[in-house]
Amino acid sequence: MAAENKNKNKNVQVFDSEEDLAVSLAKYTADLSAKFGKEKGSFTVVLSGGSLIDSLRKLVEPPYVDSIEWAKWHVFWVDERVVPKDHDDSNYKLAYDGFLSQVPITTGNVYAINDALSAEGAAEDYETCLKHLTKSNILATSAATGFPKFDLMLLGMGPDGHIASLFPGHPLLKENEKWVTFIKDSPKPPPERITFTFPVINSSAYIAMVVCGAGKSSAVQTALGNNQNSDLLPVQMALAEEEFTWFLDKDATSKL
Ligand SMILES: O=C1O[C@H](COP(=O)(O)O)[C@@H](O)[C@H](O)[C@H]1O
């Protein structure tokens, strides 16, 4: 019964090419921006790093660049590497260069981590920032879990099935109290990162899981095929309160 409920709001969309996926992802994001903008006057969006940012490229082109109410956007990161914001490994820099610098989002509504702090300090500081935003109702709170409820998380997945900086088999997968935590032994460089925890990810209203390329087809097969393994990959542990949508290109589904 529980497993059934957990999966009932999961959709899978497969596109012939990454280009088609990018077109559809832009419309999906713009539609949710309009919905939440109308319903609550703001849109809280969480970005991951990695290849996801390139797949958002259609949002900075007409018609979306002109039609989206960017002033209502509040932008967060599901994970960040503990490096200066101008470092090539920074998820903030990746998003700023490829997306945020090209749209009129209010600078004060872009919530980057404090890159002057240690991993522990940055995670604590980011959690404190989220707590202030829930108190001022910019960020909603899930009635079901008590954790912050972001409107949309735009997430990528690594070839090993990791999402955010939550890696297969890592003890952080079991964190169930903190909103934001840190890792100092990330198997993917750089080793020091901060990351949202599963209770926060799984309290999101909507999640788009964006996965492209044959290199990720094994993890997609594990997640969406008839896999009976009880050790779940991080991507398999992710849920959304309203709707979870896989955006996959054909190559990513080549083992299904
Ligand atoms: O290290 C990270 O990797 C994942 C996946 O990246 P991708 O380039 O394989 O799409 C990313 O979602 C995460 O935010 C990032 O820190």
Interface confidence, given as ipTM, is: 0.99
Q: Is 91 close to ligand 1, i.e. is its CB under 6 Å away? A: yes
Rounded to an integer, what distance in angstroms lies between the CA atom of residue 120 and that of residue 124? 6
Write down the pLDDT at residue 6.
52
Mean pLDDT, the chain cut into blocks of 10 residues (256 residues total): 53 98 98 98 98 98 98 98 98 98 97 98 98 97 98 98 98 98 98 98 98 98 86 96 98 97
Per-residue model confidence (pLDDT) at position 2: 35
Neighbouring C-beta atoms of residue 238, cutoff 10 Å: 23
Q: Which atom of ligand 1 is nearest to the CA of 78?
A: 14
Number of domains in the chain: 1
Pocket test for ligand 1, best of 46, 47, 48 (most atoms within 8 A of CB): 48
CA of 166 to the centre of ligand 1 (A): 10
Q: Give this prediction's pTM.
A: 0.96
Measure 188 CA to ligand 1 centroid, in angstroms: 9
What is the predicted pLDDT for the residue at 4?
40
- Ligand 1 within 6 A of 42 CB? no
Q: The domain that contains 55 carries what CATH number?
A: 3.40.50.1360
Backbone angles phi, psi at 124, to 5 degrees: -65, -45
Cβ–Cβ < 8 Å for 26, 64? yes
Residues spanned by the domain of 60:
2-253
Query: Is any atom of ligand 1 closer than 6 Å to the C-beta of 217?
Result: no
Strand intervals (E) in 50-184: 73-77, 79-81, 140-141, 148-149, 152-156, 180-183
